[in-house]
Amino acid sequence: MSVSIAVPVLFVSEPIVLPGMVVPIELDDAARTAVDAAQASDSGKLLIAPRLEDRYPTHGVIASIVQVGRIPGGGAAAVVRGEKRAHIGSGTTGPGAALWVEVTETADVDPTEETKALAAEYKKLLLAMLQRREAWQIVDVVNKITDPSALADTAGYASYLPDVQKRELLETEDVDRRLRLLIDWTAEHLAEVEVNDKIADDVRSGMEKTQKEFLLRQQLAAIRKELGEGEPDGSDDYRARVEAADLPDKVREAALREVGKLERSSEQSPEGGWIRTWLDTVLDLPWNVTTEDSTDLALARTILDADHHGLEDVKDRIVEYLAVRARRAQRGLQVVGGRGSGAVMVLAGPPGVGKTSLGESVARALGRKFVRVALGGVRDEAEIRGHRRTYVGALPGRLVRAIGEAGSMNPVVLLDEIDKVGSDYRGDPSAALLEVLDPAQNHTFRDHYLDLDLDLSDVVFLATANVIENIPSALLDRMELVQIDGYTEDDKVAIARDFLLPRQRERAALTTDEVEVTDDALRKIAADYTREPGMRQFERLLAKALRKATTKLAADPSKLTIDEPDLVAYLGRPRFTPESEERTAVPGVATGLAVTGLGGDVLFIEANATDGDAGLKLTGQLGDVMKESAQIALSYVRAHAEQLGVDPKALDRQIHVHFPAGAVPKDGPSAGVTMVTALVSMATGRKVRGDVGMTGEVTLNGRVLPIGGVKQKLLAAQRNGLKTVFIPQRNEPDLDDVPAEVLAALDVKPMTDVAEIVAQALEPASEAAHVAA
């Protein structure tokens, strides 16, 4: 039951007094009056309430006066003990000049199980907080408190709770609510304390580690000084290394300047790390290290022949290079510190013909180190010229790194896939290669990272490319072009027999006594299973056949011989069959020859006419040049209809010319004669001979102009079973590069007039009329 009593009231700004607290309070005049009134009353009690600026307090603590005296500073003070939480009622009168109020004491409530659980959780958090502060005496006091309300009111002593939260506790009569508030506040503060302690520990340990390392380094430096040893990572050691290194004079001067900067910089300066990295890079480069070229020309040619079949142009060029080097050496004409006698060649051709592997063979033939630089997809100029040293993580360019990897200043550097170099906002790497691949300039190549002249004039650069048109003209002009146009059927059989088959036998752990592949089988694979200019797919098919052979040997260890009739069981049905006869079985279809990024290929051109307004429709994803060639072909046929035996009315219709394989882009003028032949065949009803292929640009007057890729086109004609090929008369000198076996298999006819090609390519008119009948 609640009891109301009248007591004098004492308003205090701080501290906030809760029940159970014993606190001193300085006595001013108002406080002295309230204390005197309480001592004169029968109860001897007074109410201590917080002084609020915005409102009248609703709760206070009924307290007893323990002692009145003076504090060390000389002022008066009273020690009071908070006893009961009370609700403040209306004002009343009492003895003395103090302010009296009626208050209602808060009734005690027996704790419930939930209250006890909340008290236990709060006690656990409070003890954790006290243990972190090592307040063991207070821990003992808290452990002895069993009353949940008294335990909650001990928060009045908590220094981490602001006065606002303490006032909220004073005004909260419900014990459960008080405990919940304290659990939330204490848990939040404990988490904050743990984070702060962890940060402080990390900072402290970091400082201790730094101080420890500094002390140890000072002691180590003193010990090395006593022993007469230099600091291995210090500037003194770098100076000694630079002076001892075999460096060119200008490089040594630049390196010593950087060592001077290192000596003047502090150990904490980031510039010191940049200088050390630069010096390490400079000292690791083989500035005056070169390998001696082999002068045995016969041995060099033997090495090249042993590694690659054919490719005579490249082999001849390398042997010529060696011959010149040997002759200059005999006559004492070596160039020192200037333009060397390096070579810059680009090997252009379809995939799989051995361009990349040729670089390593060239290095072995020359007796030089070999390093490969992959340029496919490179879009950053800094990959070639290096990054400026001011950038974080700066590195020298790929060429400088390649020289470092090779360990000599005259390696063979293979620039692989030079036609796949791109450009974007970071610059154009192909423009940076202009200086690298110019024999007249690359003796003073300057990398942005090194910022020193690097002599690349004695390096043999071999570049590889599939499509010459993708190489910038200025860059192509600086290189010696060597075309590798693909292999004939005989070449493929020889390469498979001498190179691919032994390699695949070794990979399959087979011997010649276990599996044999006949030449007839190899020739069948080359003719009907692959139509590539290179050998990659051929080698995959050999690997497939040998895997199946290995599986059979596991069941039956007797020797296997893979002959032509056995290929279906090992490789499946042939993928390619001659189709020229089938495609040209109707009028209006002619067989042309084209060059793609994968080598030479046949190109069928179909012409048809439908009723409607006269006009020309072209399909097959064509470029502008090819569209113009089609217009020229149609104009020529119309202008020379009588000479060609064409009824002019047959051309006054809607003409449709289609180039099959519409997903493949096509362009170029070399299909001009083929389009003329297809149009004449369509208009006259005479079929084109199935064994005939042709290539050449045509003019409005019917002249046949020269084109490129003659060798690749003739190789494609042979692979596809053609017998007669018409080429421009002015391309006749290009036949010197065509293998003899290809010329023996084909009837190559150089022509100057497209009308002569049409006359020989079409079947006779009597046969056409007979077929029509």
Binding site feature residues for ATP: 349-356
Q: How far apart are CA 485 and CA 696, in angstroms?
A: 19
**H or E element at residue 629:** helix 624-639
Residue found by looking up tokens 């001892």 in the block: 244
Phi-psi category of residue 735: left, alpha or beta, with phi > 0 → left and psi -120 to 50 → alpha: alpha
Q: How far apart are CA 522 and CA 489, in angstroms?
A: 9
- Classified as helix, coil or strand, 697 is strand
600 forms bridges with which residues in the sheet?
Answer: 595
Which of 41, 235, 430, 670 is flagged as catalytic? 670
φ and ψ at residue 75, rounded to 5 degrees: -80, 160
Q: What is the DSSP letter of 461?
A: E
The DSSP-derived string for 298-349 is HHHHHHHHHH-SS-HHHHHHHHHHHHHHHHHHHTT----SS-----EEEEE-
Residue 176 tokens read as: 């459960």
Instruction: Check whether the bond before 665 is cis (ω within 30° of 0).
Output: no
Could you confirm whether 205 is annotated as catalytic?
A: no
Of residues 739, 622, 660, 749, the one with CA closest to residue 696: 749
Instruction: Label the pairing between strands 692-694 and 724-728.
Output: parallel
Could you confirm whether 713 is annotated as catalytic?
A: yes
Q: How far apart are CA 288 and CA 444, in angstroms?
A: 15
Indicate the residue type of 480. E
Q: What share of the chain is helix, strand, coil (3-state, %, to 5)?
A: 50, 20, 35
Q: Is 591 exposed, middle or buried (0-12, 13-18, 19+ CB in 10 A)?
A: buried
Binding residues: 349-356
Contact yes or no for 139/130 (Cβ under 8 A):
yes
Distance of CA 597 to the CA centre of its chain: 26
Dihedral angle sign, alpha carbons of residues 237, 243, 246, 252: positive
Catalytic residues: 670, 713
